[in-house]
Each structure stands twice: as structure tokens, then as C-alpha cells.
Structure 1
Amino acid sequence: MSKLSEYAPAHRARLRHTKDRLATAGITAGGAGVLLAILLIFFYLLYEVVPLFSGAGIEAGERTPWNGPVPAYLAVEEQGEVGFAVAPDGAARFFDIASGAVIETLDLAGDRAAVTVVAAEAPQSRLLALGHADGGVSLARHDYKLSYPGGEREITPELSRPYADQALSLGRGAVTALAVSDTEDALVVVGEVAGEGLRGTRFRRQESFLTGETTLEEEALVLPTLAGDTAALFIGSGQRWLYRIDSAGDFTVVDLQRSGAAGALAIAATGKLFEGGGGLSTSAMLLGGISLLAASDRGELVQYFMVRDEQSGHRFHRVRDFDTRGVVVARILPEHRRKGFLALGRDGELQIYHTTAHRRLYSREVGAPGREGAAAIAPRGDALIYIGGDGQLAHWAVDNEHPDVSWSALWDEVWYESYDEPAHIWQSSASNNDFEPKYSFAPLAFGTLKAAFYTMLIAAPLAICGAIYTAYFMAPALRRKIKPMIELMEALPTVILGFLAGLWLAPFIEDKLTGVFALLVFMPLGILSFAFAFSRLPVMLRRRVPEGWDAAILLPVVVLIGYLSFAANDPLELALFGGDMRLWITRELGISFDQRNSLVVGIAMGMAVIPTIFSIAEDAIFSVPRHLSDGSLALGATPWQTLVGVVLPTASPGIFSGLMIGLGRAVGETMIVLMATGNTPIMDANIFEGMRTLSANIAVEVPEAEVDSTHYRVLFLAAFVLLLFTFVFNTIAELVRQRLRVKYGSL
């Protein structure tokens, strides 16, 4: 017996020690696993985000001989395999880019007068206009058919001549400058004719309702007489503006839809392109036909577009300039599908820019002097070819996946095309190919903080006050029923709350808006009035209510005040706001009202956040040692003084933790803001306007984003920003909590 009695305690001690070690190892492994998971998420997001901020790269291919003159026009088809070159005399050829071999030769001049100028409609367009020595104009379009005979890709180039049966003539002299624009509504041709100045023609398409046939109605454009020589002509998007630039760098913008006082088309703007002086080196229209890019012979590179102006109607505004590092740009090659462009310097320098991001992505000497040769960029922006005066065809592979993102484009105001001023805009997609993606995080971050602010504005007072009363004043028997009921609310799926908020609460608040504000006014007044009346009752009656059960008798009061507030909605609205409070707010206060707004989000998300804050704060208050409050009461302090001076300071670390955890949940909430707001990314603190948060934006757009595209990686960057938000909030919360614990831990 003695040996067994000695063995048992030792065995239990060893067993307990083993269990302690296993528990320690398990808890340590679990904590390490959580930290590892967070780190893996962090580094995976970083892995997806880093390529956004990498620059462009170029890889040179082999040079091949080029037998012929330097082209006046050069283009590359979609796959980057077949090129199209037009010589100054109109001789054209399709050729293989890799070998330089000629696929087909053509004569665009035909039996017409000699070709004097060749112009393209737009970077992404395959329509060419040729000006002739007799003032005539002819059009040509190059296209490519893709087929797979025998499983191998085959590209068949084709050349068509639109409007071949239409006599296009601008005058009798030689055409020295030319611009063309062809849309579904009209064809517009404008040119500079030697000895006659600017001449233009518009051909409007007229469709017969009976036969469905389309005819062209010719209209002569009476253009103003302008001084100086014409170095470049461009017709803008929508055929509204004609841009004319002379060799001295002076510009004139002509309104093609409005006549001036002298009968000619009105001049909308004039001025100089370059602040540093100097003449024009080269110019081009950016994708979409809205922005004009121009370079001077002194190294300036600028972007202009038309902006609405209250005084003059429109003005030609210098939006941004680009740092060329002193390089004189001799040729500008706009990309076909993005708002970027390549700039070739006079001495063989190549620079790659993106306008919206206001970012130079590449700068290097590649030995392709822009003043001597012709260059073209592939439609996908992944290939560059150059034909120089040395009889060589050079080509490069371009790696430029994500040019349209920069820190300034993400967070600063950006002046986008067709906008009157710089703005924070999120608009990641549109229905046309000329769209300028707008990836501003500012409205999304603002919407996230706005939703969190209104949520905490509603949730924090209710949760903290409820926790104080439940933990400090409420009877234990009632507390054992109330606390689990409130904590059970946390299990309610947020998708249900979002569904109810979007389909029931939002229309209800819109219909009973006056009742909502009446409730906010009458509820505190009614409760205080009832409390005052209750305090004036005889002591015998008040003692019949058990201590800690005071809240129970408030329930009928709260229900009654709520009912009366909403029952009085219509009379109050008719008496105070002319029968429509929403319309009164909009007209009298100038505050817009959206049905799914921040008030709805604050209430719905507040219901989701209140249980979290309440549970943590209530536990912290209830855990304050009883001897502290007993000692305070014994020294003569009232219960309220004890609460404010002893209980709350001691519980403040836990209360603050509850608030920060609730704030973190509000920042990261997705379903409620997704279903209860208009999801409009605007920066407006108005409580009656909606918003779009980072989390809701990710949920909405990730399913539609192309994998590894710029849009896809920007959404991962939004997730990374959201993770940083949460990390910063939690870090601040922990620092404050530790300071509070040190400060009040000695109580």
C-alpha cells in the first residue's frame, strides 16, 4: 500500500506535466499557424501586386534588309507577324516582319495623280487617306484574315477601297496636309490645299426607311483662313473639333459643328503649345481622339484636350507634361488599346509613357532615330518595328503589361479625358475600346471609412451603454437571459442583414423618413420623461420594482414611443415638409437623397457589430473585481461615481478592445454594404448618399476581372490595402490597450 500510495502522486504529476507540455505545444503550434497563415496571405497579395509597379522592358530581335524607301506610313497587324508599309509615292506592300520578305505589293495611287501626303485616321484604325497632287483624296483600308488550315495559323492580308465610287476632292492644288474621320454617321475629310488653304468636306449618311439603302449627302465645310503653314491636322472624337498645328508650335481648334460670325466655322481656341518656346517636332492623337500629344524641338512633351469652360464654352487645356530628360522626341506612337504611347528620340532614344498614370516606364537608347525612319507599334502593344534610312528593318518585343497604374493615379486627383477638372474616380470598365480605366482608391477608401464611421456612430453608444447597464446595474437573473440573447445576434448571417436592409429597411426609411427623425428626438425625451415621472412616484410603489429590473418596465415605453413616432410620420411630414421630406431635403437644403444610403448601412451594420462590442465590453466591466466597487461605495461614493471613477477606468482596456474589434469588422464587412448601398464610388460625407467600400468592390468585380490583367491585380492591391487598414487599426488598438492596462492596472 505504501508503494502504491507513493507511486500514484508521482504518476499523476508526470501525467499532469505531460498534459501541460502537450497543451503548450498545441497552443504554440496553433498560434504559430495563425501567424503563418496571415504571413502567407500578406506575401501572396504582395506577389500579385508587385508586377503593377514594375517598368517596361524591350528585347531586340534580328535586323533584316529592307529594299525600298522609308515608308510614309507603317503598321503592324494583331499577331505582330505581318507589316504594312506605304511609300511616299503611294506604293504599298505587305511583308513578313521576321524576314522582311514581301507578301504582296500594291499601288495605292493607281491611275490618279501623284500622291503628295499619306494620313491615318487613328492609331487603332486601319483607314488611310491619300492626298493627291490634283487636290483629290482617296481612301484605303488594310485588313487581315486569320485562319488555321492544317492546324497552323495563317494570316491573309487584304486591301479594300471604301468610297471608291465617291468623288473626293478638296481643291485643285496639291494636298499638303490631311485628316480623315469615318464614323457610322458621317465621313469627314479636311486638308491643306496648296494656294487654297484649309478645305473640308463632310459626307452624311442617310438611310432610306423604305429600302434600307444608305446614301451619302455631301456638305462643304467652310473653314477659316489661318496664317502660317500647316504641319499637322487632326479630327477629334465625335467629329466635333479640328486641330491644326503649324511648325512654330501654334495651335488652332476649329469647331466643326458651329459657324462663326463671318460664315466660316468658328475658331474655338488658339495659342501656343509649348511654354518654353520652340517649334513643333512631332504630334499625334492619343487613343480615342480626345487628347493631343505634341513634342517641341526643345525637349517638351505635352498633352492637351478640350475642357468645358463656363465663360468661353470650351478651352484647349494643357493637362500634363512629361519628363523627357532632355530628349527631343521626333516620333510619337500611340498605343492602340491603352492610353500610353512610345516616343522615339532624334538620336535613337526610346521612351515609353502612360498618360493617365503620368508615368515613364522605360527610357533607353535603342538605335532607332525617329527623324530618319518610320516606326509602328503592334495593336497589343507587345511589338515595335522600325524601318530606317539605312535600309534595315528592326523589330523589338515589348514587355509592358501594367502601364496604367501609379501611386499618383491610385491616390491623387487625376484629370481624365472629358472631365472638367481633376477628380478621384473609380471606373474600371466601359463598353467601348477607347475607354480610359480609372483606378482611384480614394473613393473606395473613403467609402470604407464612411461606412465604418456611421456604423460605429450607431453601434458604439448602444453597445457600450447596454454593456454598462447589463454588467453593473442589471439583476443577475435578468442578465443571464439578456446577455445570451444579444450574443446570439452575432450568429445571424450578414447576408440576411444585407438582404433585409436592401429590400425592406431602405424603402421603409425612405417612406417613413420623418418618423425616423421623430424617433431620434422623441425616444430620449420620452425615456427621460418617464424616468423623471417614475422618480416622483411614492417610495412604496417604486420599491415594488426589484432592484436591477428597471429596464423591464421601459420596454412598453420604448414600444409606445416607436409606434407613435411612425404613426405621426404623415401628419408631421405634411405640416413641416410640405408632404415630402425627401424632396424638401433636396430642394431646400441642397442635399441629395439616395434610397440605399449611409443611414441604412449604419443601422444594418450596427446590428451586426453591436453584439461583438457588447459582449467584449460587458465581460470587461463585469470582470472588474467586486472589492474595488465595494470599497468605493464604502468610502461614500455613489454608484454612478463608482462606475465613472473606478469601474470604467479599470475595464477601459477591454472596452477599447471591443470597440476596435467592432471597427475592424465594420471596415471589412462585405455583404451588408454590397446589398444595402448603391455601390457608387463617390466621395460624399452626406448620410443620405451611398458609397462603395474596398471589400464590396472586390466582391463585385473580381468575378469579372481577367486573370493577371491590370484590373485583376488592382483588385488584389485593394485587398492588400484593406489588410493594411485592419493591421493598422489592430496595432493602434493594442498599443492603446496596453497603455490603459498599465495606467489603470494598479487600481
Structure 2
Amino acid sequence: MSIEQTNTVPELDFNTPAQRRLRKARMMKDKMAAGGIAIGGISVIIAVVMIFFYLLYEVAPLFRSASIEPWGGQQEVSYAVPGQGRTLYLAVEEQAEIGFRATHSGEMIFFDTTSGRVLQREQLALPKGVDISSFALVSEASQTFAFGLSDGSVKVVKHNYKATYPNGQRVLNPELVYPLGEAPLAVAAGPVEHLTLNRDSDQWTLIALSGDQLSELTLSMRENFLTGETEIDTSRRDLPSFGIKPQKMLMTPDQRWLLASVPQGKVAVMSLGNTPEVTQLVEASKDRITSFELLLGGSSVIIGDARGQLSQWFFVRDETNQFQLTHIRDFEHGSSAITNLTTEQRRKGIVTLAADGTLNLYSSTANRQALSEPLFSGAADAIALAPRANALLVQHGDRLSFWHVDNEHPEISWSAYWEKVWYEGYEEPEYIWQSSASNNDFEPKYSLMPLAFGTLKAAFYAMLLATPLAIAGAIYTAYFMVPSMRRKVKPFIELMEALPTVILGFLAGLWLAPFMEANLAGIFTCLLVIPLAIVLFGFTWNNMPNKIRFLIPEGWDAALLIPVVMLATWIGLGLAGPIEDALFGGHLPTWLSNEAGIPYDQRNALVVGIAMGFAVIPTIFSITEDAIFAVPKHLSYGSLALGATAWQTLTRVILPTASPGIFSALMIGMGRAVGETMIVLMATGNTPIMDINIFEGMRTLAANIAVEMPESEVGSTHYRTLFLAAFVLFLFTFVVNTLAETIRQHLRKKYGSL
């Protein structure tokens, strides 16, 4: 064989059929992979955008303006007023199918709201020569009212509606009921000029004014358990005079206060205790009071005057622990006198008609004017709002008109969500979340501030614990730890991330919280003892003879800290007992509450910080460790070769280069902490309060959604407010992530040239 033949390199043919097929298959796989990745990325973006718009779709109706239109939506529904005489009372039943009208002659008429057709008519039975001299309404919701008679007696009536289903068709049957019997009740010695009454459980109280004399009649009902009959105990007494002729009287449902509007725009307040007395005379208006009604629940009084001013008042304790009728808020209104005012039966809503015929809808809690719409050219005679607040019946002259009202969420406003609101029963404006209660008189409190504050508080304490531990651990693992040890430590810590958060929440609520309460002093002692023990051990180990230090393989000496930490923890818990006895009276939580004035709740932010920090550590650690480990080795080698120490190399080369990844780790960890649900749900006490105290609990946006969404009515204000909370959480994470990405790109550009 010749030398030329030996050195000949065989030619490779890359254009064979097999190679072409291989390249074609590889190209196809590349395109499929690129297409799959693109589809996946676009799908994620589409999903996020769809979530955004769905949340917006659910939230948008909260801020929709109210509207009013003729019933049926086409032409005005108007007809002649059924019956004769001046209207004392106008009402609409719940289905808005039947209207009710009571006149000054005692005629009571049920009629069809859309046509005015009379369905039933009844005349109040009055003694001969006796006339109706006054009228009083218990409340719109109770459908109960009373006629004061010229002989000093009172008759109490209730209009009621029963549904029957003959042949499967619903039929409403109106009826009149006499809760205190058909016989008149003697209350005053002369004609009843002004009257008020109310009911508290099984006790009725009627107060009548005749001349200058105020008379009170109280009826206490109790059922005889043996006979089943209802027994009535009556008591009478005379009340002190207001000293001035009242225009209208109101009594609170608890029968504790008697309020009277008097001339010159003043309101007199009488305490109805064992010793009745006039306790307050407040100037409620600069002009004559034209409207004077109790809001739903009877805790607030709404006052309208001849200048068109509308205000809300309720009782607040003063510095001497006495209740004072206090001005709470004013509502936007025109300058025309408020001639008609009624309140909603299931919400804290107010409806007014001014002398110029302008209709106004308000929500007291939100301090919001939901609607201002001119309906007539002049004042109306009477108005009535349906129980569902979706229908309005107005008498204007000798005509009745029927209107459909669309006002689904009047109690919502920016101030109700994000500003302090003065709620009934509170001594000052506060941030409160309380979405439900046991009765219909409840004032919903939808402030999102306690929830947003609780979210940030939980995330803050979790990050306070997780950030230094996770980053310090990642630095040591990636930069100082030997590869053999790193291969064991990193997977173990990342495996912690797979632990279900419900397990962490369960352990935090049922084990960690009671343990920390019993060993709170030990926890703080360990926070001092453990770092001191680590530093002392490091100094001691560094000064030991080489023959001892070399017994441990290089890079594995960090494992010696495990028994050191365990021993320091045991010592710290052991020292806590004597320290607690000597300084804190034997129990630190009790000392904090009683002596330091710092409230202590067993499930608090400290428990959440530890439990949620434990959940966040693996996320921050893993991303940070990868970022540091990914720094090119030639950078660190070059720094060390130029004479820099390992610490200088770390702080001036490694960490700046890895800073974009470290920052991303912190932002992802914070996002995890902000969105965490189960841990804060089970370990915080779930109390929506605004307190930075680490020993108090909180409620977060995510936990609140998890707790209350299953019990909220679909489409209700509560339901949509929970979606708003989710929308706020979505926007918060979106803004934080966008800001984080901007900063990360800036850091990458700044340190990318290293």
C-alpha cells in the first residue's frame, strides 16, 4: 500500500438520501417545537387577558349609574288616584303588583299598580263622631301603621299579602291585619295631634301628643304556656313636655329614644328610661325641617329641610360616656325644598322628591348620590318604594304614576372601599370589613383597606423571615459549598416547595400557634442565642488545630452547624423559663397584654411569618442559587487571580452579576406570599383589622375570597365586591411583576458587561 493511499481521508457525503431525510425530520421537529412554544406562550397571554376582562366584567356593574323609567320601559304608566280624600300613606308590596293607599277618611284601598284597578277596599271602623286626627308609620319594612283619633285613642293596622297557587298560578291576596286588636286603644285624654309607635320583640310602645301633654302606652305580650292564649300587660305614664310644639315625632325601635322635629330647624331628644327627660336640643338645620324619617334599622334619622339640605344623624358616645345625637354626613342636593322622603326596606337607601319635582336616590353608607332625575314640574303628594327597591309609585295631584328603578349597587363608592366611613354604632369613622350579619337591619361594611393591609402585612413578615435565610443559604450553597454536598442540599430544599400549603397551615394553626404562645419568651431567646452560638462556634472551629479540622472533609464543615443550632435552641428554650419568671411575671403574652398594652392573639402575624416564610424560602432559594451558580466561573477566577478575597469576589463580582436573578427570586417569592391562601386562612385568626402589631392577626384578600365567595349570592354587591378584591390582587401582582421586570432588565444591562 502506498503512502498516498494510507493518508487519504475518506470523503463524507452529507447529501445522501438518508442525510436529507434526517435534516428534513430535524427541521420538522424544530418547526413543531417552535410552533408549540409559540402557541403555549400566546395561550398563556390570552388566558391572562381573559382573566382580566372576566374580572372586569364582574366588577363593572358595581359602578353603573342608577336609572329610572316608566314601568314596562315604553310609555308612562299613569292613572287616576283610586279612592277619595287626602293620602296619608302610600305603599307597594314586594312583587310590585299591588299598591296600597290609606286616606285621611279611613279608607284603605288595594289596587293594581299598572292600571289602578281597585282590588279591595275597606273602611276603617270608627266610633260615631270620631275622626282621624293623626297618622304614624312604624317602618316601611314592617308595613304597620297607626291612626290617631280625635277621642284620644289609636288604631294599629298592618297591610299584608298572602300568596296562593290555584291551578298552579300565583295569586296575591291582600288583607288588613290588626296586630293589637280591632278595638281602639285609649292613649291620650284628648285628640291625638301627633303619634309615634314602635315594637321591640313582644313589647309595643305608643306615644301620643294631645295639646301639651305627652302620653305613653306600653303593651307587653306574653303567651300562656298552659292555655296558649296571649296575655297583654299594659302600663301608662305621662312624659315631660318638649317645651315647644313638635312637628313630627319618631321613636327608635329599642324604645329608648323619642325624637321630635320642632320649629326653627331643631330636633329635641327625650330619653325614655325610668325617668324620662329631654336630654338634647340640637340645631339640625338652618331652615324649617320638611322631612324627618328613620333609616332602616332605626339607628339613624334622615333630615331634609326647606333649603334642600339632606343630612344623616345618629347617637354617638361622647367623652362622658353619654349618647348624643350627632351629625354624621350631608348629601349632595339641590336648593329646592325636600317635600317627600322615603327609605329603602332592605338597604340603607334614601329616596327624595324635591319641590321642583326632582327625584334623588342616595346611599347613606357610601355617601353617594346614585341618581338625580327630574320627574315632574312641581312637588308630589306622596311616594312609595317597593321592598326590593325596583319600583316607585308617585302621587302627583290626582294622578298616580308607576316607575321602574334600576339601582342594584347604591352602597358602593370609592370612599366606601378605600376611605374611612362613619358607620352606625361606631364612635368615629373607621376602616371596617363586615359583609353580613344576623338581621336585615345590618349596614354592610365593604372597606377593602383592612384586607389590602392584611395582605401586605402577611407578605411583609413572611419576606422578613424568608429573604435573609433563603438568599444567605443560596449564596453559601452556590459559591462556598462543595459539589458533593450541594447535590444533596439543593434537591432537599427544593423538595420542601412540594409540601402542600394546607399542611403548613394546618400545622401552623394547630401546633405552631399554641407552641409559640406557651414558649414565646423561648422563641425570642433563641433568636439571640442561635446567632451567638454560630459565631462562637465558627471562631472556635477556625482556631482549632489542623489535625482536628482536617478530620472533616473539605467543604463538609458546615454540616457541624446542625448540632450547634439544635443545642443552641435547647439552651435558649431552657433559659426562657427563668428569664420569663424574672422579667415578665411568668407568662410573656399576658405581660404584653396587661403591662405593655400590646394585644396578643394566639394566631398572629408572627405565626404567619414563620409558616409562610417556610413556604416561600424554597422558591427564593432555588432561583437565587441558580442565578449565582450560573455566573461564569472565569469572572470569579479572574477576581481571585487579581488578589481579591473570596468575600470581595462575592460582593463585588458574583452578586452584582447575579442581581437580576436574585431580584426576580424576591419578586416571585413576594408574589407567592401575597397570593397565599391556606396558610393565612388557618393561622391568622382571619380577623380583618388594621394593626401593624406582630402579635395580632389579619385577613388577606385571597383568604377573604376563599372564605366568603361560597356563601355570597351570585350577582349581589357582596359577590361583585369579592371579584373586585380579586381584581385588586390581580392588578397588584401585575404592577409589581411589571416593575420587577423593568428593574431586572436594568440590572442585566448594567452588570451584563462584567
Which position in structure 2 is the counterpart of 1:45? 55
Output the amino acid matched with 2:239.
Answer: L
CA distance in 1, matches of 2:70, 2:85: 23
Output the amino acid matched with 1:173.
Answer: G
Which position in structure 2 is the counterpart of 1:102? 118
Match among 454, 474, 477 for residue 470 of structure 1: 477
1:65 aligns with 2:56: no
Which position in structure 1 is the counterpart of 2:303? 294
**CA contact under 8 A between 1:258 and 1:266: conserved in structure 2?**
no
Q: How far does residue 412 in structure 1 lie from its aligned partner after superposition?
A: 0.4
**CA contact under 8 A between 2:603 and 2:684: conserved in structure 1?**
yes
Which position in structure 2 is the counterpart of 1:450? 457
Describe how 1:323-342 pairs up with structure 2 within 5 A: 323-342=332-351
Describe how 1:35-184 pairs up with structure 2 within 5 A: 35-61=45-71, 62-67=77-82, 68-111=84-127, 113-164=130-181, 168-184=185-201
Structure 1 pair 490–227 and aligned structure 2 pair: CA distance change class (3 A): same
**CA contact under 8 A between 1:305 and 1:319: conserved in structure 2?**
yes
Structure 1 pair 5–86 and aligned structure 2 pair: CA distance change class (3 A): closer
Describe how 1:499-514 pairs up with structure 2 within 5 A: 499-514=506-521
CA distance in 2, matches of 1:659, 1:368: 64
Structure 1 pair 32–344 and aligned structure 2 pair: CA distance change class (3 A): same
CA distance in 2, matches of 1:570, 1:523: 17
Which position in structure 2 is the counterpart of 1:319? 328
Structure 1 pair 543–333 and aligned structure 2 pair: CA distance change class (3 A): same
**CA contact under 8 A between 2:200 and 2:253: conserved in structure 1?**
no
Structure 1 pair 212–533 and aligned structure 2 pair: CA distance change class (3 A): farther
Match among 41, 45, 48 for residue 31 of structure 1: 41
**CA contact under 8 A between 1:66 and 1:393: conserved in structure 2?**
yes
State the identity %: 52
1:200 aligns with 2:211: no
Match among 337, 354, 366 for residue 345 of structure 1: 354
CA distance in 2, matches of 1:331, 1:312: 36
Which position in structure 2 is the counterpart of 1:20? 30
Match among 435, 438, 443 for residue 431 of structure 1: 438
**CA contact under 8 A between 1:191 and 1:233: conserved in structure 2?**
no
Q: How far does residue 36 in structure 1 lie from its aligned partner after superposition?
A: 0.2
**CA contact under 8 A between 1:135 and 1:170: conserved in structure 2?**
yes
CA distance in 2, matches of 1:3, 1:74: 102
Q: How far does residue 445 in structure 1 lie from its aligned partner after superposition?
A: 0.3
**CA contact under 8 A between 1:295 and 1:302: conserved in structure 2?**
yes
SS in 2 for 1:75: strand
Partner deviation per Cα, 1:251-307 (whole Å, 9 max, x = no partner): 011111252xxxxx1223211112xx1111212111000111111111111111111
Output the amino acid matched with 2:48.
Answer: I
What is the root-mean-square deviation in Å for CA atoms of aligned residues?
A: 1.8
SS in 1 for 2:139: coil
CA distance in 2, matches of 1:331, 1:553: 83
Partner deviation per Cα, 1:441-471 (whole Å, 9 max, x = no partner): 0000000000000100111111001001100
CA distance in 2, matches of 1:596, 1:41: 33
CA distance in 2, matches of 1:325, 1:474: 76
Match among 647, 651, 666 for residue 673 of structure 2: 666
CA distance in 1, matches of 2:483, 2:645: 20
**CA contact under 8 A between 2:85 and 2:105: conserved in structure 1?**
no
CA distance in 2, matches of 1:163, 1:556: 81
Match among 410, 418, 432 for residue 417 of structure 2: 410
Partner deviation per Cα, 1:211-246 (whole Å, 9 max, x = no partner): 675533333344232233311111113111111002
Structure 1 pair 208–581 and aligned structure 2 pair: CA distance change class (3 A): farther
Partner deviation per Cα, 1:511-538 (whole Å, 9 max, x = no partner): 1112111111111011111111112212
After superposing the two structures, state which structure 1 stretch, 329-338 or 1-10, moved more: 1-10
Structure 1 pair 649–711 and aligned structure 2 pair: CA distance change class (3 A): same
Q: How far does residue 14 in structure 1 lie from its aligned partner after superposition?
A: 4.0
**CA contact under 8 A between 2:213 and 2:238: conserved in structure 1?**
no
CA distance in 2, matches of 1:665, 1:252: 57
Match among 260, 280, 286 for residue 269 of structure 1: 280
CA distance in 1, matches of 2:528, 2:352: 65
Q: How far does residue 581 in structure 1 lie from its aligned partner after superposition?
A: 1.3
1:305 aligns with 2:314: yes
1:382 aligns with 2:375: no
Q: How far does residue 547 in structure 1 lie from its aligned partner after superposition?
A: 2.8
Which position in structure 2 is the counterpart of 1:538? 545
1:281 aligns with 2:290: yes
Which position in structure 2 is the counterpart of 1:357? 366
CA distance in 2, matches of 1:205, 1:65: 42
Partner deviation per Cα, 1:408-448 (whole Å, 9 max, x = no partner): 10010000111111010000001101011100000000000
Output the amino acid matched with 1:171.
Answer: A
Q: How far does residue 600 in structure 1 lie from its aligned partner after superposition?
A: 0.9
Q: How far does residue 563 in structure 1 lie from its aligned partner after superposition?
A: 2.2
Partner deviation per Cα, 1:126-165 (whole Å, 9 max, x = no partner): 1111111122111111111011111111111111222227
Structure 1 pair 188–667 and aligned structure 2 pair: CA distance change class (3 A): same
**CA contact under 8 A between 1:444 and 1:694: conserved in structure 2?**
yes
CA distance in 2, matches of 1:565, 1:423: 42
**CA contact under 8 A between 2:306 and 2:336: conserved in structure 1?**
no
1:188 aligns with 2:205: yes
Describe how 1:571-590 pairs up with structure 2 within 5 A: 571-590=578-597
Q: How far does residue 574 in structure 1 lie from its aligned partner after superposition?
A: 2.3
After superposing the two structures, state which structure 1 stretch, 325-334 or 376-385, moved more: 325-334
Q: How far does residue 388 in structure 1 lie from its aligned partner after superposition?
A: 2.5
**CA contact under 8 A between 2:600 and 2:696: conserved in structure 1?**
yes
Q: How far does residue 168 in structure 1 lie from its aligned partner after superposition?
A: 2.7
1:229 aligns with 2:245: yes
Which position in structure 1 is the counterpart of 2:530? 523
Structure 1 residue runs of 5 or longer lacking an equivalent are: 260-264
SS in 1 for 2:606: helix
SS in 1 for 2:272: strand
Which position in structure 1 is the counterpart of 2:233? 217
CA distance in 2, matches of 1:740, 1:421: 47
CA distance in 2, matches of 1:212, 1:146: 27
SS in 1 for 2:163: strand
**CA contact under 8 A between 1:368 and 1:386: conserved in structure 2?**
no
**CA contact under 8 A between 1:368 and 1:388: conserved in structure 2?**
no
**CA contact under 8 A between 1:514 and 1:573: conserved in structure 2?**
yes
CA distance in 2, matches of 1:495, 1:418: 38
Output the amino acid matched with 2:726.
Answer: A
Output the amino acid matched with 1:594.
Answer: D
Match among 573, 577, 587 for residue 566 of structure 1: 573
Match among 240, 247, 255 for residue 239 of structure 1: 255
**CA contact under 8 A between 1:89 and 1:109: conserved in structure 2?**
no
Structure 1 pair 678–5 and aligned structure 2 pair: CA distance change class (3 A): closer
CA distance in 2, matches of 1:211, 1:475: 90
1:553 aligns with 2:560: yes
Output the amino acid matched with 2:319.
Answer: E
**CA contact under 8 A between 2:340 and 2:381: conserved in structure 1?**
no
Structure 1 pair 64–239 and aligned structure 2 pair: CA distance change class (3 A): same
**CA contact under 8 A between 1:344 and 1:369: conserved in structure 2?**
no
CA distance in 2, matches of 1:233, 1:613: 67
**CA contact under 8 A between 2:453 and 2:690: conserved in structure 1?**
yes
CA distance in 1, matches of 2:12, 2:752: 48
